[in-house]
Each structure stands twice: as C-alpha cells, then as structure tokens.
C-alpha cells in the first residue's frame, strides 16, 4: 500500500530527512534536494519539510569535491517521516555505527526508507533489508549478492518499491524514484508538475532497465521521440504495437528492439503506462464515471482500469479518488497545440527520454 504521507508533528508537512555521511555522492544529494527540498510556489503549497543531517559537523563529500557544513546532527533522523540514507562509492568500507543505528531506529518507528545507488548497501548493512526486495547500480550487483545473500536483489531495474523501503539504481534513477514517491504521496498531477520544473520524464516505470544498449541513437530518424509524442496525443484511440510500427515505418520486431534499446521497455508496456498515467489525471481532475475514465484513457473497460490502477498504485479507483481527487496545478506554458498544454483536454506524463 502507498505510504501514508501524514503531516509531521512540528511543521505540518511530511518531513524528509537526508542523512549525509563521509564520501557521499553529491549527485544523489542534489536529486533529493531538487525533488523534495525546493519550494513549490507554482503549486500554491509546499509538499515536504526537508532537512539535511550528518553524524559530523564537517562532512567531506565524494573524492573531496567539497566539505558539507552547517547541517543538523543525527538527532534529526528521530523526526523523519522519510529518511534517505547515505550513498557512497566506497561500498566495501563499513558505515559508521551511529549511522546504522539511526537507520535501524527509524525503521523500527515505521519511517519510510529510501536508498539511492549504493544506499542499498547502507540499508543492508543496517540489517533492514533481510528478505526484502531491492536494487543497486548494476556494476555492483555481484558484490552486493555476495555480501547480502538474504536480500532479493533486482539488478536490472531503475528502482524497487517494497512498501516502506525503496531503492534506486543510482544517477538519474534517483530522480525516477523521487518522482515515484511524489506520485505516491500526492498523485500523478502533482508529480507531473514537479517533473516539468525538472524538465525530466514524469513517469518511467521502476521495472525499466538500468542500462540501455544505445541511449543516444546514431541517426535522428531512429529516435522514438516523434512517435512517442504522436502516440501521447492519441491515447484514446485503439493504438496497437503493429499500428505504432506502421507509423514509424518499421516492422514490429524493429520497433520492439528500438524501445528496448532507447527506453528499456516494450512498446506495449510503455503504452499501458501512459494510459494509466492519463487515467490517474482524469480521476484527479474530478471525473467520477469509471467507464468514461477507461474510455478516455484508452484502457477500454472499467474492469481493466481497476486492475491496471491497482497494479500501478496499489489503490482502487475510489480510494485513489478519495486520496488525490480534484488536484489543481498550473499547466505548462503553451508552446504549441499539444494535448498536455490544453486545459480542456486530459494530459498524460511526458514520454521517457
């Protein structure tokens, strides 16, 4: 079930605390700050209370890039609703006992735990991942399995949501997991607004592959971007993989290879994900008739809508409506007549880039 984004006792907002330790990677710290720490005047409300903490007054970041000072101490972990644990490239060096104990205490209190990249090693060393699902950067998969055989590692995905413990593969996947958490806490419409500010894909499913064979296509005509934009504007139509292939003037097998290479997923999985995201938006904007939501999102039937929505969010349509209904966020600036810029038409998440 989605984590309860209940308000913190002291500030009125869900409190996200990032625990930074010696040799932590600044990139993932920046991702956490961008997603959870920035003010959101465009939404007319704040989403989280955000705090950095460290076990030492001065924390030397990865490779001595800079020294972090002026942040709170470990006592801040005691008030966290969500705790993001340290990630460090020196994965064979043991973590500080005080850091591991803070993580264990947070977990015992029911705090949601997030690990970016090598943060999975920190969580496993703290002893909270035993028998649980997790992921880490693909280059460390063998070492992780050898050190923590009781953890069910999924090495070839962007992120894993295992309820109260979530892990991301690292680098850009930290943004994917962060937006997934925002979507889980505040709904698809708010997550899309955050992603627009980041200029980042709002919805890449966690099951997509970490490593794609050809992230930058050698020839512009092989890029899927035009096809994805075309399909996003026609989600209510009976799109098929064969139809997408015909639009791209390639065979279905070639289209499948390009999706795998450029997006790390299949055409059908991408199309279904886009339709579920659109269905979430329609519900959030107040549409109560499930048959209309199913029709206008291209999911066909109310039964299919229920099944897909529960699989994606863990919620029934009625529970999703109760939690996220009638969300109001500003639209992206109008640059051309596109579905996601027209407030009279339903929108869907930007395509993975």
Q: How far apart are CA 127 and CA 148, in angstroms?
A: 10
* % pLDDT > 90, the chain: 45
The reported pTM is 0.71
Q: Are strands 159-161 and 165-168 parallel, antiparallel or unpaired?
A: antiparallel
Domain that holds residue 330: 215-341
Give the model's pLDDT for residue 12: 64
- The average confidence (pLDDT) of the chain is 82
Give the model's pLDDT for residue 164: 96
Q: Looking at 163, 195, 227, which one is the last position of a domain?
A: 195
Same domain flag for 30 and 170: yes
Same domain flag for 190 and 48: yes
Whether 202 maps to a domain, the answer reads no
pLDDT digit string, tens, across residues 168-200: 987 788 998 999 999 999 988 888 888 877 766
Taking the CA atoms of residue 83, residue 89, residue 92 and residue 96 in that order, the dihedral angle to the nearest 10 degrees is -40
Number of domains in the chain: 2
Whether 210 maps to a domain, the answer reads no
What mean pLDDT do residues 306-327 have?
Answer: 85
Same domain flag for 185 and 233: no
Q: Are strands 82-84 and 112-116 parallel, antiparallel or unpaired?
A: parallel
Rounded (5°) CA angle 85-168-71: 30
CATH number at residue 107: 3.40.50.880
Q: Looking at 195, 229, 248, which one is the last position of a domain?
A: 195
Residues 6+ apart with CB under 8 A from 319: none
Residue 18 has pLDDT above 90, yes or no: yes
pLDDT digit string, tens, across residues 83-119: 999 887 788 888 899 999 999 999 999 999 999 989 9
């Amino acid at each position: 079930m989605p984590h309860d984004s209940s308000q913190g006792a002291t500030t009125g907002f869900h409190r996200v605390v990032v625990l930074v330790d010696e040799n932590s990677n600044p990139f993932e710290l920046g991702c956490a700050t961008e997603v959870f720490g920035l003010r959101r005047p465009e939404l007319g409300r704040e989403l989280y209370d955000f705090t950095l903490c460290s076990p030492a007054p001065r924390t030397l970041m990865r490779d001595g890039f800079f020294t972090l000072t002026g942040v709170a101490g470990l006592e801040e972990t005691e008030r966290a609703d969500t705790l993001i644990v340290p990630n460090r490239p020196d994965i064979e060096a043991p973590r500080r006992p005080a850091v591991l104990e803070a993580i264990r205490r947070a977990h015992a209190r029911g705090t949601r735990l997030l690990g970016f990249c090598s943060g999975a090693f920190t969580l496993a060393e703290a002893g909270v991942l035993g028998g649980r699902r997790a992921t880490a950067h693909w280059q460390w998969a063998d070492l992780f399995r050898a050190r923590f055989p009781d953890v069910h590692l999924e090495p070839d995905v962007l992120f894993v949501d295992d309820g109260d413990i979530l892990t991301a593969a690292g680098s850009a996947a930290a943004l994917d997991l962060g937006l997934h958490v925002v979507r889980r806490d505040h709904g698809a419409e708010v997550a899309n607004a955050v992603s627009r500010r980041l200029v980042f894909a709002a919805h890449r499913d966690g099951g997509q592959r970490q490593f794609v064979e050809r992230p930058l296509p050698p020839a512009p005509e092989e890029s899927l971007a035009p096809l994805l934009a075309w399909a996003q504007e026609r989600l209510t139509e009976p799109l098929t993989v064969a139809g997408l292939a015909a639009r791209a003037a390639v065979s279905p097998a070639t289209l499948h290879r390009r999706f795998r290479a450029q997006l790390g997923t299949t055409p059908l999985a991408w199309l279904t994900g886009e339709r579920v995201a659109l269905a979430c938006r329609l519900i959030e904007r107040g549409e109560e008739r499930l048959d209309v939501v199913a029709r206008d999102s291209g999911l066909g039937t109310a039964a299919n809508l229920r099944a897909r929505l529960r699989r994606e969010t863990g919620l029934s349509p009625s529970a999703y409506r109760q939690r996220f209904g009638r969300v109001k966020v500003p639209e992206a600036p109008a640059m051309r007549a596109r579905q996601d810029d027209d407030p009279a038409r339903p929108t869907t998440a930007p395509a993975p880039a």
